[in-house]
Structure 1
């Protein structure tokens, strides 16, 4: 018999359902989702528009609450935490990457990475400064620190967003269509960067996507349709 202790997952979803409205107007956005995501995984969450991908990401991250079921995030019952503690968990352990970058246009590249580190209260100015510089170097933008987002290409803006998401060393990064607003070549470059970071840091990546490139390259693919889980490449 093996004495190896099984590592706890990064995220464990048990019988997750999410409904909106009631009666004849009720919409079942998610239906009895069971999903375990290991630490260090690179998972592509696929499905057509309206399938429930964004709703599932929001529930994983505690932005939204399930109608029923349980959400375990790093061994915490996420869906029952009070809002103050939930915000602390997200601020410390979660990074977010969005399709439309969500950079602050009046701040330069460096400050878009630096200020969130200061505002979340986990780092002093000196360490935040060093981390911002290091992450911009790692994503290939160390020479662009003083530029504003409007002076960058779409791919460069997404690299800034990736640096911002990773600067506080999160355990899990959730990305909602991170290559959806980019051309194919730029999207491939961003995908290569995310895969490299995953290999280098063992950060867990959960990526919602329509991209065939990402689906082919991800180490695990999960598909949902009409709110239900219909495929898991690990099964």
Structure 2
């Protein structure tokens, strides 16, 4: 029998997490707890394993030690299929390189998570997609192709796609790395505002001091764990 997650349980709990590649330790003893609606920035030097940590959280990579729990579920104990279903239902992703599909319209790109979840009602999909496009300021651009958009607009598409299925947790990997400072600030404002508005946790991996300043907490990832900045 599946028991519901207590409403006050942490959205994300990482305990004693460690990752190695062969004899090389990437990080160990990582501990982190996040609540719904909280924005956390994770900074660190290149090569310290920030993206690897995100992959372990999402179940795309297996940690060697420790546990990751999302809404009370131990990601490391899930089968590949169960982990994929968890990602579809509970996670949203925003990447530095946008990862939009060039042959699809903006609206179809944003609607992909709903299709993957098995939504078949076209009217319901259209309404949900249009609503989130309005939220990110792209309500009139749903039928455009990605090649017709600026970098800042493409990242807004990525944010809309990450939010459309109302995930519990958004994982953002250097979301402003390809943007000029002014556009980056606008995108950060939007990402943080939308995450809080939808009650989603948002973990931002970044080199950006501006991103760290936007977060509720800024942490530094080191080889031997996470510390407050």
Task: Report the TM-score, using the length of structure 2 for normalisation.
Answer: 0.93
Structure 2: which 5+ residue stretches go unaligned? 1-5
Q: For 2:47 and 2:152, how far apart are their aligned partners in 1?
A: 26
Structure-1 residue corresponding to 2:168? 171
**Comparing 106-115 with 134-143, which one deviates more in the overlay?**
106-115
Runs of 4+ in 1 over 6 A off after TM superposition: none
Mapped contact 2:112–2:161 kept (Cα < 8 A): no
After superposition, give the CA deviation of every residue in 1:174-210 in whole Å (9 maximum; x if it has no partner).
0000001100000000011112113312210000001
Output the aligned Cα RMSD. Answer: 1.5
Structure-1 residue corresponding to 2:199? 202
Q: 1:202 to 1:64 in 2, by over 3 A?
A: same
Structure-2 residue corresponding to 1:191? 188
Q: For 2:171 and 2:202, how far apart are their aligned partners in 1?
A: 6
After superposition, give the CA deviation of every residue in 1:117-148 in whole Å (9 maximum; x if it has no partner).
11321563222111111111110011111111
Mapped contact 2:110–2:157 kept (Cα < 8 A): yes
Q: For 1:123 and 1:93, how far apart are their aligned partners in 2?
A: 19
How far is the alpha carbon of 1:70 from its aligned partner? 1.2
Structure-2 residue corresponding to 1:231? 227
Q: For 2:40 and 2:121, how far apart are their aligned partners in 1?
A: 33
Structure-2 residue corresponding to 1:19? 20
Task: Report the TM-score, using the length of structure 1 for normalisation.
Answer: 0.91
Of 114, 117, 122, the match for 1:125: 122
Q: For 1:20 and 1:56, how far apart are their aligned partners in 2?
A: 13
Q: 1:67 to 1:133 in 2, by over 3 A?
A: same
Residues 132-151 of structure 1: pairs in structure 2 closer than 5 A? 132-151=129-148
> Are 1:83 and 2:80 counterparts?
yes
| Helix, strand or coil at the partner of 1:159 | helix
| Structure with the greater alpha carbon radius of gyration | 1
Q: For 1:169 and 1:210, how far apart are their aligned partners in 2?
A: 27
Mapped contact 1:92–1:122 kept (Cα < 8 A): no
Counting matched residue pairs gives 224
| Helix, strand or coil at the partner of 1:19 | strand
Structure 1: which 5+ residue stretches go unaligned? none
Structure-1 residue corresponding to 2:52? 55
